[in-house]
Structure 1
Amino acid sequence: MASKKSILKKVQIVITKHFKTPEDAFNFFDKNGNRKLSKKEIVALLKEAEINGFIRGLVTTKLIEGYDKDGDGLIDWKEFKAAVAEIVKGSK
């Protein structure tokens, strides 16, 4: 099974290589434009990052549990920005 570090590295690669800014990535995956990423939208991001289908659901749940500070079950822009900052910090 992929390690947390390798999963976060893959997410970082998608965000930095395919988008000019983290906000561009957020907006791309926010398909319904509500400024929040749903579980389905996070799964799409992880799929783009080539995270194995078996663990995508687990990783999505852990991401929401770890970064959803307001408890609505979604990741808003502020929460996403915090996650990206942690991913970048962890890769250095």
Structure 2
Amino acid sequence: MSTKETILKKIEILITNHFNTPEDAFAFFDKDGDKKLSKDEIKSLLKQAEISGFIRGIVTTKLIEGYDKNNDELISWEEFKAAIDEISK
């Protein structure tokens, strides 16, 4: 399993084990309620998913690069859902 697959699997396990729905997970990590996940909010999600602090910043950047379709450096619900859909495949 590649590092990307391992990280995505840990995120999937976090969401599956601790939240009823992906929407609940998104709302939980959207601390400021702006309907978007900032870098700090994504880092919090990764910390909860037990992603090492050493690579958390790199992974945050890569997640934003991979899923931020409108280039605002934030992850919207639609972008988050696209990531979850990819994980679920």
**Structure 1 counterpart of 2:51, which letter?**
I
Unaligned runs of 5+ in 2: none
| Number of the residue aligned with 1:27 | 27
Residues in 1 aligned to 2:64 and 2:87: alpha-carbon distance in whole angstroms: 15
- Where do 4+ consecutive residues of structure 1 move more than 2 Å? none
Query: What's 1:3 paired with?
Result: 3
User: 1:52 maps to what in 2?
Assistant: 52
Report the alpha carbon displacement of residue 58 of structure 1 after superposing the two structures with TM. Answer: 0.4
What's the offset of the Cα at 1:82? Answer: 0.3
- 2:3 and 2:73 map into 1 onto residues whose CA distance is 24
Residue 18 of structure 1 is matched in structure 2 by 18
Equivalenced residue count is: 88
Quote the residue 1:37 is aligned against. Answer: 37
Amino acid at match of 2:29: F
* Identity fraction in percent: 69
State the AA in 2 paired with 1:79.
Answer: E
After superposition, the CA RMSD in angstroms is 0.9
TM-score by length of 1: 0.94
**Structure 1, residues 55-90: CA drift from partner, whole Å, max 9, x if none?**
00000000000000011000000000000000111x
TM-superposed CA distance for 1:51, in Å, is 0.2
Q: Which amino acid aligns with 1:58?
A: I
